[in-house]
Structure formats: C-alpha cells, structure tokens
Structure 1
Amino acid sequence: MPLAAGLAIGLLLSPTSEALAAPKPTIKQAKAKLKKLNDKADKVVDRYNTATEKYKAAQGEYGKLNASYKRKLETVATLRAQVVAMAVDTYKLGPDARSWPTMVGQPDPTGMLGSLALADRLSQEKMARLAAFDRENRGLKDERDKAETALQAADKERDGVEKERSEVRKLIAQQKKLLEKLGAYKTGDPNSTGIKYTGAASGNAAAVLRFAYAQVGKPYVFGGTGPRGWDCSGLTQASWRAGGVSLPRTTWQQWAWGSSRKVDLKDLQPGDLIFSSGLGHVSIYAGNGQIVHAPQTGDVVKVVTLSSYGGTLVGAIRP
C-alpha cells in the first residue's frame, strides 16, 4: 500500500473528533458572550415593544375610522330610504304638486295660496334630503378608503411585531442556553410579593418605589407589563403609574418623553429613571446608591447597587 494512502486511511480511522472539536468556552468567555447577547437583546426587545405600540396605535386608528364609516353607512341607508319614499310619492301624486289645474281647483284664494306655500315647503324638504343623500353618499367612499388604509397600516405594523418577536425568541434561546451552562438561569416567581421599601423617598417617588419593590422576585419577561412578569420599561411605566405619572411604553419613548426633565447622574434622587448607553435598558434609582430593575432573560426583578450594573449610563430623567 502506498505510504500516502496508508496515512490517509489512518487519519480517517483514528479517533480525532475529540481533538479536533472546539474547546468548551471558559466561564469568563461564556459571561462575556452573555453580556453581548444581553446588550443586543435589550435593543431588540425595545424594538419589539416599539413595534407593538405602533401596532396598537394603528389598530386604534382603524377602529375609530371603521366606526365612523359604519355610522355614515347607516346615515346613507336612512337617507336612501327617504329618497326612495319620495320617488314613490312623486309617482303616486304626480311630478308637480303646483300644476295650474291643482292650484285653481282650490275653492277660494286663501286655499290656493296655502297650497302654493305647502308645495314650496315640500319641494325644499325634498331638495334638502336629496342634497344630504348626495353629500353623505359621496363622503361614504372617503370614509371607507380611510378605514382600508388604516387597516393596511395596522397589518404592516403587525408584520413588524412578528419579525421582532422572532428575533427576540432566537436571542432568548441563546441566552437561556448560556445561563443554564453557567448554572445561573432564574425562573422567578410570578406570584412574588416582593420586599418592603424602607428608603428615604417621599411623595409620589415613595409610591413608585413601594410598587417596584413589591415586584422583586418576579421574572423578567420580554414585552412584560405585569403583573406576573416585567421587562425593564414595563416595570418603570407601571411603577410611575402607581405614582400618578403616565409614562410611554418603551425605553426610547420614555427617554424622549423626559427630554426636558433630565438630571445629572451626580444629582440622582429616589424615583429617577436611569438609562443605559444605547437606551437599551432603564432602571429606577432607589436611593443610597441602589437601583431596582428588571434586568434580562433568565433573571428576576431585583435591587442591586448602581455600580454593579456594569453598563455605561447615558443619563437620567426625573418624571
């Protein structure tokens, strides 16, 4: 057997699969990969939330326009019935109630004048009804077209939601796999009653933090708006709602909403919202160097030190 052929067969038969397999990642490498996945997931989840909000808005717009179209449809149907009744009456009574034989057939001048006035009034009413029918009927197509356009927009936004949801699910599967390898995957308790807030916040900020602390231990859920699970902006929105302030849904929207309410990170007060670089994450400052937040997949709502968060912060707002 030629030497080259023998070597080739030997290589094929030798147990080299283990030697050639890529080495398992170290804990440090797995954590670094997880951090990248978490950063990416934060942004994708916010895109998903934004798409969902746009879809809801488009659905609402379609609902209003469709209701308006249906009301106009009913109005046109009523006017159409009146116009048909008028046509039938005209056929029965003759086309011109003011014809000369009819008028002169009245027994006295007063009766004749009264007939003239009545005929004019009936004619005006008929003309008004015909004009109304024509106007509403022409407007009906506009209303229908507006409703159909809004429905198409809603369908487009729905498709956007599905696209982002698919991307999120892929990322979640990767995050979960890594967390399970690290033994760090937390399912959380959807029925958790949390912990008591005992910090120095007052006024509506105290109500905000009491609510947020009561969610501690519940799982992070992408797109979660409670009560059994939360994502980061879902938690901040609901917490500030408990404090009497209505925030928009997504991290990006909350940051934009607070453009005139920004505060320096050196001047944080309990209740302030803290945003990470890239606006992928938002948390609530609890005072004494701590934050409460819904971190990411495989974790739970929790209280940690601001310094342990590990991300670059872009700023804060005070609702």
Structure 2
Amino acid sequence: MASHRRPKQPSRARVTVLTTAAAAAVALSAQAANAAPSEKPSKDEVKAKVDKLYEQAEQATEKYNGAKEKQEKLQKEISTIQDNVARGQEELNKLRDGLGSMAAGQYRSGGIDPSVQLFLSSDPDDYLDKASTLDQLSSQQVDALKKIQDKQRELAQERAEATEKLKDLATTRTELGKKKKEVQGKLAEAQKLLNSLTAKEKAELTAEQARATRASERTVLSGSPGSAGSSASGRAAAAFSAAQSRIGSPYVYGATGPSSFDCSGLTSWAYAQAGVGIPRTSESQSTIGTRIYSMGDLRVGDLVFFFNDLHHVGLYAGNGQVLHAPRTGTVVRYESMGTIGGPFMFGVRV
C-alpha cells in the first residue's frame, strides 16, 4: 500500500521573500498607475527646440556649401590638368615620331644611330640621360632627345598632381555626403517636433512670424531720421535691389537662386547681379572688403554676419533690419537684427 506523505511546507524565510517581492510588485504597479503622463512640450518649447535645430542645420549647411565649392574647384583643376596631359602626350608623340624618322633615315644610309635604342630601351628616361652625352649624336638629335626628356618629366609631374587631386576629390565627396546627411537629419528632427503641434499652434506660429516680418518691412520703409545706417550706393545698391526682388522666395539649403536660396546663396547671388563676384560661403564672404564693427556705420547693402562662427549672413536693410534667407520653412524676408538668434559680429562693405 502506497504511503501518503504530506507536501513539504515552504520555509518561513522563503515565505518572507515571496511576500516581500509580491508587495514590491504591487507597489511598483501602483506607482506606474498613479504616475502622471509625460507632458507634451508647449508651443514655445517646441519653437525653441526647432530654432536650435535650424541653427545647427544652417551651420552644417555652410560646411556642406564649402565642401561642394571645393569639389567643383577640384573638378575644374583636374579637368585642366587632364587636358594639359592629353596635349602634352600629343606633343611627345610628335617629338618621338620626328626622332624616329631621323634615326630611320640614318639607318637606311648605312649607319645605326644610338637614338634607335630609345624605342627598344626598357628605361627610356635612363637612356635619354646617357644618350644625350654620346658623341655619335648630332646637335639636332641631342636637342630632340632633351625635348622628349623634358616633356616626359613634365607629363609625369602633371599625372602625379592629377592623382593627388583625385584623392582629395574623393575625400571631399565623402565629407559632402556626411554634411548632407547631417543637415537632413537636423531638418527631419525639427519637422518631427513641428508635427507634434496642433493645427491651432502651427497657425499661431505662422501668424507670429508674419507679424514680425510686417513690422520689419514697416521699419525699413519708414526711413526714420536718425536711424542707423545710410543709403546704399553703387554696386551695394544694385545687390540690395536684386535681393529685394527675391523677397518671398523659399529657403532651401545649398541653393543659390534664382528661385530659392540659403543665406550665403542669397548674398552671393545678389552681388553677382550687380556684377561683383564674392565667395560662396558666409565664412569666406567675411574675409573680403572692409569690416565695419559699429551698426551705426553700416550702409544698406553691406554684408552683415551673425553668430561666433559666422555661419549666417544677410544684407543690411537700414534701421537695424536685415534682408536675408533665414532658415528652412521660411522665405527671403526682412527681419530685425535683434531677433536673428545670434549676436551681430560685424559688417563687410564690398
């Protein structure tokens, strides 16, 4: 007959541990249930974060512009070198053909000229060094050999230069791709934040921007006596007029007009319409012309730079206002220099 044993009772210590764990689980559940849901950021908080992301995107945009400009410059230089190499090779071939004809004529007349070895030598350059000292060669042949030697060395140097520039171009293209991704990432993050706003909040932000733009326009047009800055003249006036004609055009990073612009794209395009070529990026534009540190000395059409790293530039519009392409989501417009988001550093008179 089978024996029936009583099940083993859990020890008092084990009961205590299980009871404690259960109590902790209940407490955590209660805390989670009673915890306040994460608060949605306010419209102003979203705007502040978005403005910061746009500033970072513009910084990356100017680096992108610089890499793109360098890429275009390298491509032109490489193309020029390759054209020079092609022409040089043609000249070298003609020199060789001429020397070959000369050698062949001598061979037919019964003499074997050492220059024939040029075409059989495994090291033509070394042969040329030796052959040019041989007494058997005529002065005409020596001259022809030296020209071939000089042209070979010239072509070798140009090919080496092209190789180095091609390496630099590959590095620049990589940098360009990274900056493009960085800009796109910042813009996508900013758009995600904006999408979190209600339709009413979005409308309020748009209305605030519109009011600020209208206020700046009135300030520019008022031309109140004693206001900072004097009228533009000459090419600055022509550049400013060109920029005014693009008011309302959208900001697009990397764009240089005529239908869309980024900040330095607008200023370089505007001065180009006045017949003046200036660099592409804001940092490079800050190195030209005459610097003006006092706002009171600025004139309409002067370039004005903002932020410590000079990543934003516009055209001075008078009365403490700037005409510029602010950032993604905006258009070319007037704005008070005090609301740019970064300090005014200096102006440049082109």
* 1:71–1:5 CA distance, 2 compared to 1 (3 A): same
Aligned match of 1:178? 193
CA distance in 2, matches of 1:18, 1:83: 97
Do the aligned residues in 2 keep the contact of 1:58 with 1:157 (CA within 8 Å)?
no
Do the aligned residues in 2 keep the contact of 1:45 with 1:223 (CA within 8 Å)?
yes
Aligned match of 2:265? 234
Of 315, 333, 336, the match for 1:284: 315
* 1:71–1:19 CA distance, 2 compared to 1 (3 A): farther
CA distance in 2, matches of 1:254, 1:18: 58
Aligned match of 1:168? 183
Counterpart amino acid of residue 272 in structure 1? D
Aligned match of 1:149? 164
Note if 1:83 corresponds to 2:114.
Answer: no
Aligned match of 1:115? none
Aligned match of 1:66? 82
CA distance in 2, matches of 1:17, 1:254: 58
* 1:217–1:14 CA distance, 2 compared to 1 (3 A): farther
CA distance in 1, matches of 2:26, 2:258: 63
CA distance in 2, matches of 1:18, 1:91: 107
Greater shift, 206-215 or 216-225, is seen at 206-215
Of 155, 166, 183, the match for 1:140: 155
Aligned runs of 1:13-92 on 2, under 5 Å?
16=32, 19=35, 22-92=38-108
Q: CA deviation at 1:181?
A: 3.5
Aligned runs of 1:286-305 on 2, under 5 Å?
286-305=317-336
Q: Mind listing any 5+ residue stretches in structure 2 that lack a counterpart? A: 1-14, 114-136, 208-216, 224-230
Q: CA RMSD in A?
A: 3.0
Do the aligned residues in 1 keep the contact of 2:263 with 2:325 (CA within 8 Å)?
yes
Q: CA deviation at 1:234?
A: 0.6
Aligned match of 1:265? 295
Note if 1:217 corresponds to 2:235.
Answer: no
Do the aligned residues in 1 keep the contact of 2:54 with 2:190 (CA within 8 Å)?
yes
Counterpart amino acid of residue 110 in structure 2? G
Aligned residues: 285
Do the aligned residues in 2 keep the contact of 1:62 with 1:154 (CA within 8 Å)?
no
Do the aligned residues in 2 keep the contact of 1:176 with 1:185 (CA within 8 Å)?
no
CA distance in 2, matches of 1:153, 1:256: 24
What is the TM-score with the length of structure 2 in the denominator? Answer: 0.72
Counterpart amino acid of residue 275 in structure 1? F
* 1:147–1:310 CA distance, 2 compared to 1 (3 A): closer
Percent identity at matched positions? Answer: 35
Aligned match of 1:311? 342
Aligned match of 2:234? 203
Of 285, 298, 304, the match for 1:274: 304
Q: Mind listing any 5+ residue stretches in structure 1 that lack a counterpart? A: 98-121, 187-194
Greater shift, 34-43 or 9-18, is seen at 9-18
Aligned match of 2:8? none
Counterpart amino acid of residue 162 in structure 1? G
Q: Deviations over 1:177-209 (max 9, x none)?
A: 2234342589xxxxxxxx9x9775443233222
> Residue 80 of structure 2 aligns to a residue in which SS?
helix
Greater shift, 10-19 or 245-254, is seen at 10-19
Do the aligned residues in 2 keep the contact of 1:176 with 1:298 (CA within 8 Å)?
no
CA distance in 1, matches of 2:104, 2:92: 18
What is the TM-score with the length of structure 1 in the denominator? Answer: 0.79
> Residue 185 of structure 2 aligns to a residue in which SS?
helix
Greater shift, 52-61 or 11-20, is seen at 11-20
